[in-house]
Each structure stands twice: as structure tokens, then as C-alpha cells.
A and B are shown apart, each in its own frame.
Chain A
Amino acid sequence: MATAMALRSFGRRTSIAARGFSGSCETEKAAKDGKPINLFSAINQALHIALDTDPRSVLDHLVGYFLFRCRLIINRVGSLFCAYVFGEDVRFGGVFRCTTGLADRFGRSRVFNTPLCEQGIVGFAIGLAAMGNRAIAEIQFADYIYPAFDQAFTAAPMAYSTKTEDSIVNEAAKFRYRSGNEFNCGGLTIRTPYGAVGHGGHYHSQSPESFFCHVPGLKVVIPRSPQQAKGLLLSCIRDPNPSIFFEPKWLYRLAVEEVPEHDYMLPLSEAEVIRQGSDITLVGWGAQLSVLEQACVEAAKEGISCELIDLRTLIPWDKETVEASVRKTGKLLISHEAPVTGGFGAEISASIAESCFLRLEAPVARICGLDTPFPLVYEQFYMPTKNKILDAIKATVNY
């Protein structure tokens, strides 16, 4: 039923409103009834649900008139006919087993392999989405997303040309100009594994999220755990804007937690305070959260109380939550794996300096990847490790 409500809400919500689903989805608290599974299995579950619940198959499964009405609503806004999953080797489960079993269950015309051609994959996905479908494209590693970069940019402005009532006028005008018609590719979701794995070297370790955060019109989402991954991925898939979902590949097998088996979504553009504190605010996303958490625990031993925030959606990001926290603590530390210069931490830092200038008691600290290519040797030097964070916490608190 949650799905039905959420689906209905698409009809109304087509803007990049700061809080996409807050009224229409269950939160993680609602269900603690799941089985412990790892992150790739959680993604796999989400994809099963996404393919299962797209309107066409819902009809096939005769769930009934109520959902049929949802479809009518969806058709009226001109979107969402059917969901597809595709990418390099996805029919066989993909490199990380995230798509295992999908082809057997949903058939090879909905779950299929593509040739090795990232630009083609994403361009194709935009076209498919523009026809009103949910196109869930996989890019094998985030390091290989660059050939598709151009298409990802194409995706963004197309989204704005939906029949939105509440887009900002300035932007709406601009994007209508660019597309010249009323297409959208809101059904597009690009999934891709990102980040370090301990020994990935130059081309299996990168965190390119900030490139995409420079493109208004895209949503960029990064989960920190299996439960989060499932709910956030379903939200991305069902969100009426094109989104890029970066999956922390380090956690695919490593992170295990209880994940509700049913269909649920977690709100986009809503950060989560996962640890309350009073001395300093720490902000991060994805795999970095667990590193930050360890630093919090260590800091607590030395009497420093850290407030830890998982940003979850990078754009459009939840400034209110971060601001509220910084107003309380007066100090901010941001941490991500991508190189510090031009990383998304820079944007957060600048925004908070603007909005909380008089409340800040110390310079904003950024503990991030170094400004070098992702190295083969000395990965631990490159990485924003717990000790680096801990040092910065102390320096900031004692400023």
C-alpha cells in the first residue's frame, strides 16, 4: 500500500522539492522485522521489487482495481509504463551479483545485457525513460561512468521539461527552451559501485560523485547500509527525476543488517542524524559513515560528543538538517573519499559558512581523499582514515 500511495504522489510531485517523499513512505523505524542480509542482496531485493511493482506487472498480477487507478494517474502524468534493468553482464548477475535472478524471474526482455558501451547504455536509458518507462541502468564501476558523462548531463535538463506545476519559473523556462517540448526522463536511474576496496588501484576505486553534483536536475544518492540501500534505491527508481545511485562496493558483502523484506522507500533529500551530539557535527555519506562512526566512538572516550549526519542525498541536499546541527554544535567536519579539492564537501562547507557564519566557532574541517589520483600503493595514506578524522575533531573542538 505504501507503494500505491507513493505512486500516487508522483502525480503531484514533479519538482525537485527539497523533501521528495517525506509524506508518502515508511521510514526505517517502521519495520525491524527483516532478515540480516548484506548490501548486494538488499540491492537485489530492491530491484526485484522495482520490477515486480511497475504498473504493467502489477496489472499482470491482478492486484486489483486500486492499483489500476494508480496506473491511470501515472499515465496521466505521462510516465512509468514498465521497468527495465540493463548493463554490462547484468543478466548473469553482474560483477557484484546485484542483479542475480532478475532475468530468470522477469525475462530477458526486461533484464538484459548491453554491449560494452557506457555512453550508449545511458543514452539508451534516457530514450527508454523518455517513453515513460523506468530505466534502471548499471554502470559496472563508477570509474567507467565517464564515457557516459555527456549523456548524464543530457538527462538532467530533460527532466525539467516535465509538466511540472511547481518548478522554479526561471528554471522551467530555461529547460523548456532547451528541450523544445515536453519530454522527461524522470524514470532514469543509474546504479554504479563507487569507492575504495582496499586494493582497487586507479580504476576500481574512484568516487566521482561531485562531478554529478554540479548538474542541476540530477539527483545523487549514496546509501550507507543494506537497509538504507534498499529504501533509497526504490525511492530513486520511483522518483520522477533522473538519479544516480552510487553503491559503496566496499560494503557489498561486508555490511550486513536486518532489512525488511517488504516494499519500502526512504525519503530523498533528507539527511539522517544517526548519532546525537553537542560538540561537533560530522557529515558524510556512503561507506565513509562507518569510518566516521568509529571516530565518534573514539572521540567520546576523550569526552568529545559528536553529532553524526548521513547526508544520503547529495543533490538536492538537506541543508536544514545540517544547518540545525551546526547551529547547535558550532563546529563542522565533512569527510569523503573523493579528493578534497572540488569535492562535495567544499559545497557543504561554503553553504554552512554562509548560513551559520556567526555561529561557527572554528573553521570547517574537511577530511577527504588527497589531491592525487587514487593510488595503487599507499591507499591508506590517501584515504580519510579514522585517525585523520579524530585528529581533526580534536583540532576543531580545541580551536
Chain B
Amino acid sequence: MAVLARSSSPSSLSKLLRPHSVSSLRSFSSSAADDQRVLTIETSVPFTGHRIEPPSRAVDTTPAEILSFFRDMAVMRRMEIAADSLYKAKLIRGFCHLYDGQEAVAVGMEAAITKRDGIITSYRDHCTFLGRGGTLLQAFAELMGRRDGCAKGKGGSMHFYRKEASYYGGHGIVGAQIPLGCGVAFAQKYSKDGSVTFALYGDGAANQGQLFEALNMAALLDLPAILVCENNHYGMGTAEWRAAKSPAYYKRGDYVPGLKVDGMDVLAVKQACIFAKEYALANGPIILEMDTYRYHGHSMSDPGSTYRTRDEISGVRQERDPIERVRKLILSHELASASELKDIEKEVRKEVDDAVAQAKECPVPDPSELFSNVYVKGFGAETFGPDRKEVRSVLP
């Protein structure tokens, strides 16, 4: 009851808004044309550690990498905006949770790991799928329940998977993916191939008992598991401080070390993930709390404006937007011009529009797909459409 008795919000606008710090740049190469020269850039804010010495703020990157960050995040942003319109046009049914605002987490994480490393996440899974190498067509087709979707149109928004890139996908039950991720990590430990698993969950999910059960097992077994709390500060309409006695999620593993990361800074995310992977392989689990923000409401049925102020949202957009941060970085270091970046965005927009158009043309799954994949072999069932005119399907 103590939690509920608290009446005023300790989390305020000022805490969410932290200005982009002017990054310091040390260039190790003087040839400006070289895409692969190493740039060292300082993260927006220092990392904060729990039972661990945090990594350095100086992140190594290259012009090519920074430009790819820009492009990848722009694709994700554009995809989510297109999904928003498709949902409103009733082409996407079911529940749909968008990731715009959080792109730096998916992109920074990918920059630090390989496709042999596992990722498992919640229902807010579209962009992570792209990060794992999924295509826009697969994403849109799945969103619309079409045959070419990554789950053959059978999963929908909350259930994207990509086995070839160790993407164990989207899970609808809040918190359920965390112990699953630990099981994956256990298998990886046995295979001794130097891979780890990133299990992502939200600040709301952090209050589920499953997290603590999984943490304990992972720590007991020294699993190469990295638990990533994507703290976007709200679980549906509930602000983090209303739901968590301690919203310092990186500390909540108690005996498991943790790191707080600016999840709006793609380079900080990359640095933290490199650090965490190394740590996990040598020592066992670690928690990364990514301080991030979702611009959209929780799902398409939530306008996202009843439990937070418009000022808060626009403030984050202005001060902390992950794409704008990278844009500034590119411009200030003259890696590309403003108009070149605009061109990239135009290209991205076209790519997304083309994928949407293509996905709309995809056929829906065959009716027999209703029965396949329930068991390894079909178990035989017969049905017909609601109007009795459609095909009967009978499977062995």
C-alpha cells in the first residue's frame, strides 16, 4: 500500500528531458573521405553502474556506422508511422504496439552483437525484427496477416520471429519472455560458441515475479543472459513511479550487476551492449536499463495523451530524439550534408511505401493454415467459413 499512498510524482519533465550534450570528437585519421576511420565520440551522459565499474563514455565508431545508424533508425520510424496509418485504415487488425522513439535501443544493440546472439522481446517487436535483418515486406505482410509475413501471417503485430538471425521474437504475455531468454542462454552456454541472449522487457514488466525467478536462475547458473529493461517510463497508462517502489531498474537485480544507459543515444546503447556481452560471457547475467521513450500511445487504442502531457512528449522529441541526435552528430562532424540526409529520408520513405504496396498485394494464408502448426502433424479437423460457401478444410 505504500506505493499506492504516494501522491505526488517524483518523476518530472526535467528528469525525462536531458539535453543532447555536445559530443566531443577526436579524429584519429585526417583523411575525411575515409568511411572506416575511427571516430571516438562521447556518450550524452555517463553510464551509472550497480555493483559494477561502468564502461567508458568514449565510444569508437566510424562515419559509415553513424550513417547506417541514421538510415536504420529512419527506416524504423517510417515503418511505424506507416503501420499507424494501416491500422487506422483497418488493414492491420488485432493489437498493434509501435516502437517509434525507442529505435536507438534496437539499432545500438545490433551494432554490438552478431546474429548468433539471441534476442527475445515483448509485443513491441517490429523494429527489433528489422534490426535482425527482417525485411519491410515481411514486416508489413505479417502486420496485415498475409502469407509473406515473417510468421506466415499467423502471428500478427505481436509475434514477429526470425530464426536464422536468432530472433526468438515477440511475446504477448508481459514478462513471459524473460525466463525464455534465460533458457536460450543456457543452451548457448552449452554450445560454447561465445553467443549470448538479450532478453528485453518493459518497465511495467519489471514488476512481474517472473523476472526475479529468471534472474535468480540465470545468476545461479552463470548464464550469458543480458536482461534489457527498456524503460519508456510507462506501462500502458501507468507511470513507472506509480508501479515500482524503486524505478531504478538497473539496480533491481540486487545481486546481479546493472548499468543505466541513455537509451536515446545509439552509441551509448552500443557501448553498453558490447560491455554487457563481454561481461556476461565471463561472469553471468547483467541488467541494462535503457532510458527511452515511446512517442505513440501504448497501443493503437491508446491516444497516449491522457496520462502524460503533450509538453512532455514534444519536449522529448526536441531534446532527446535518437534520430535527431545522430543527425546533429553527422552535421557537426560533416559526415554528410543536411540535404544528403534529407535524400536518405526520401529514399527511406519510398522504400517503406513500396513495401506497403507490395504487402497489400500479398494473399491471405490458406484456410488450412488455421490447423497447421498446432501439432507437428495436423490432427484433422473440419470446418467451413461463416457463410458456409467457403472451402471446407480437412487435414490429416
Closest residue of B by beta carbon distance from A375: B370
> Which residues of A lie under 8 Å from residue B153 when comparing CB positions?
376-377
Q: A88-B238, A144-B174, A378-B370 are in contact. Are A203 and B95 (CB under 8 A)?
A: yes
Closest residue of B by beta carbon distance from A108: B4
Closest residue of A by beta carbon distance from B236: A89
Interface segment, one of A32-40, A58-66, A113-121, A314-322? A113-121
> Which residues of B lie under 8 Å from residue A78 when comparing CB positions?
none
Residue in A116, A200, A371, A387 whose CB lies within 8 Å of B94: A200
Please provide the chain A residues from 190 to 246 with a CB less than 8 Å away from any CB of chain B in the complex: 198-204
Please provide the chain B residues from 356 to 375 with a CB less than 8 Å away from any CB of chain A in the complex: 364-365, 367, 369-371, 374
B154 contacts A147, C-beta separation under 8 Å: no
A382 contacts B386, C-beta separation under 8 Å: no
| A398 interfacial by beta-carbon distance below 8 Å | no
Query: In angstroms, how far is the closest chain A Cβ from the Cβ of B298?
Result: 10
Q: What sequence of 0s and 1s flags, for each residue 13-35 of chain A, a beta carbon within 8 Å of any chain B beta carbon?
A: 00000000000000000000000
| A357 interfacial by beta-carbon distance below 8 Å | no
> Which residues of B lie under 8 Å from residue A387 when comparing CB positions?
386-388
Please provide the chain A residues from 357 to 399 with a CB less than 8 Å away from any CB of chain B in the complex: 370-373, 375-378, 380-383, 385-388, 391
B4 contacts A109, C-beta separation under 8 Å: yes
A203 contacts B158, C-beta separation under 8 Å: yes
> Which residues of B lie under 8 Å from residue A120 when comparing CB positions?
207, 209
| A92 interfacial by beta-carbon distance below 8 Å | yes
> Which residues of A lie under 8 Å from residue B242 when comparing CB positions?
113
A144 contacts B94, C-beta separation under 8 Å: no
> Which residues of B lie under 8 Å from residue A81 when comparing CB positions?
none
> Which residues of B lie under 8 Å from residue A88 when comparing CB positions?
236, 238
> Which residues of A lie under 8 Å from residue B205 when comparing CB positions?
116
| A153 interfacial by beta-carbon distance below 8 Å | no
Residue in A117, A119, A146, A204 whose CB lies within 8 Å of B95: A204
Q: What sequence of 0s and 1s flags, for each residue 204-215 of chain B, a beta carbon within 8 Å of any chain A beta carbon?
A: 110111100000
| A112 interfacial by beta-carbon distance below 8 Å | yes
B381 contacts A370, C-beta separation under 8 Å: yes
Max chain A CB contacts within 10 Å: which of B1, B238, B381?
B238
Closest residue of A by beta carbon distance from B244: A115
| B9 interfacial by beta-carbon distance below 8 Å | no
Expressed in whole angstroms, the Cα–Cα distance for A386 and B159 within the complex equals 30
| B133 interfacial by beta-carbon distance below 8 Å | no
B173 contacts A117, C-beta separation under 8 Å: no
Residue in A119, A146, A370 whose CB lies within 8 Å of B370: A370
A146 contacts B306, C-beta separation under 8 Å: no
A113 contacts B4, C-beta separation under 8 Å: yes
A146 contacts B173, C-beta separation under 8 Å: yes
A202 contacts B159, C-beta separation under 8 Å: yes
Query: In angstroms, how far is the closest chain A Cβ from the Cβ of B88?
Result: 14
> Which residues of A lie under 8 Å from residue B5 when comparing CB positions?
109
Expressed in whole angstroms, the Cα–Cα distance for A92 and B236 within the complex equals 11
Residue in B93, B95, B158, B386 whose CB lies within 8 Å of A385: B386
> Which residues of A lie under 8 Å from residue B101 when comparing CB positions?
none
Expressed in whole angstroms, the Cα–Cα distance for A199 and B144 within the complex equals 12
Q: What sequence of 0s and 1s flags, for each residue 1-25 of chain B, a beta carbon within 8 Å of any chain A beta carbon?
A: 1011100000000000000000000
> Which residues of A lie under 8 Å from residue B204 when comparing CB positions?
115-116
| B384 interfacial by beta-carbon distance below 8 Å | yes
B173 contacts A203, C-beta separation under 8 Å: yes
Q: Is the interface of B mostly helix, strand, loop or mixed?
A: loop
Residue in B4, B156, B208 whose CB lies within 8 Å of A147: B208
Please provide the chain B residues from 284 to 340 with a CB less than 8 Å away from any CB of chain A in the complex: 306-307
Residue in A89, A202, A375 whose CB lies within 8 Å of B238: A89
Query: In angstroms, how far is the closest chain B Cβ from the Cβ of A338?
Result: 15
> Which residues of A lie under 8 Å from residue B387 when comparing CB positions?
387
Q: What sequence of 0s and 1s flags, for each residue 382-396 of chain B, a beta carbon within 8 Å of any chain A beta carbon?
A: 011111101000000
Query: In angstroms, how far is the closest chain A Cβ from the Cβ of B178?
Result: 12
Expressed in whole angstroms, the Cα–Cα distance for A391 and B123 within the complex equals 39
> Which residues of A lie under 8 Å from residue B157 when comparing CB positions?
201
A92 contacts B158, C-beta separation under 8 Å: no
| B235 interfacial by beta-carbon distance below 8 Å | yes
Expressed in whole angstroms, the Cα–Cα distance for A380 and B93 within the complex equals 14
B209 contacts A117, C-beta separation under 8 Å: yes
Expressed in whole angstroms, the Cα–Cα distance for A98 and B318 within the complex equals 37
Query: In angstroms, how far is the closest chain B Cβ from the Cβ of A383?
Result: 7
B364 contacts A377, C-beta separation under 8 Å: yes
A372 contacts B374, C-beta separation under 8 Å: yes
A199 contacts B238, C-beta separation under 8 Å: no
| B54 interfacial by beta-carbon distance below 8 Å | no
Q: A113-B238, A115-B243 are in contact. Are A373 and B374 (CB under 8 A)?
A: yes
Expressed in whole angstroms, the Cα–Cα distance for A183 and B160 within the complex equals 46
> Which residues of B lie under 8 Å from residue A204 when comparing CB positions?
94-95
Query: In angstroms, how far is the closest chain A Cβ from the Cβ of B304?
Result: 13
A377 contacts B386, C-beta separation under 8 Å: no
Expressed in whole angstroms, the Cα–Cα distance for A386 and B390 within the complex equals 15
B173 contacts A144, C-beta separation under 8 Å: yes
Expressed in whole angstroms, the Cα–Cα distance for A117 and B374 within the complex equals 29
Max chain A CB contacts within 10 Å: which of B1, B243, B381?
B243
Expressed in whole angstroms, the Cα–Cα distance for A362 and B5 within the complex equals 61
A381 contacts B386, C-beta separation under 8 Å: yes
Closest residue of B by beta carbon distance from A391: B388
Please provide the chain B residues from 149 to 190 with a CB less than 8 Å away from any CB of chain A in the complex: 153-159, 172-175
| B257 interfacial by beta-carbon distance below 8 Å | no
Query: In angstroms, how far is the closest chain A Cβ from the Cβ of B32?
Result: 50
Query: In angstroms, how far is the closest chain B Cβ from the Cβ of A30?
Result: 38
Max chain A CB contacts within 10 Å: which of B155, B159, B173, B235?
B173
Expressed in whole angstroms, the Cα–Cα distance for A143 and B172 within the complex equals 9
Query: In angstroms, how far is the closest chain B Cβ from the Cβ of A67?
Result: 28
Please provide the chain B residues from 82 to 134 with a CB less than 8 Å away from any CB of chain A in the complex: 93-95, 123
A377 contacts B145, C-beta separation under 8 Å: yes
Expressed in whole angstroms, the Cα–Cα distance for A146 and B209 within the complex equals 13
Query: In angstroms, how far is the closest chain B Cβ from the Cβ of A64?
Result: 31
| B379 interfacial by beta-carbon distance below 8 Å | yes
A381 contacts B95, C-beta separation under 8 Å: no
Expressed in whole angstroms, the Cα–Cα distance for A156 and B242 within the complex equals 31
> Which residues of A lie under 8 Å from residue B158 when comparing CB positions?
201-203
> Which residues of B lie under 8 Å from residue A202 when comparing CB positions?
155-156, 158-159, 172
> Which residues of A lie under 8 Å from residue B306 when comparing CB positions?
92
A199 contacts B93, C-beta separation under 8 Å: yes
Q: List 10 A-B contacts (CB under 8 A).
A: A89-B238, A113-B243, A116-B208, A116-B243, A199-B93, A204-B94, A377-B370, A381-B384, A381-B386, A381-B390
Q: Give 14 new A-B contacts, CB below 8 A, not counting A88-B236, A377-B154, A381-B385.
A: A89-B237, A108-B4, A113-B242, A115-B204, A115-B238, A116-B205, A120-B209, A201-B94, A202-B172, A372-B381, A375-B370, A378-B367, A381-B383, A381-B384
Which residues of A does B touch, CB under 8 Å? Answer: 88-89, 92, 95, 108-109, 112-113, 115-117, 119-120, 143-144, 146-147, 198-204, 370-373, 375-378, 380-383, 385-388, 391
Q: Which 5 pairs across A and B sit closest by C-beta, in order of nearness?
A: A201-B94, A203-B172, A199-B93, A115-B207, A380-B386
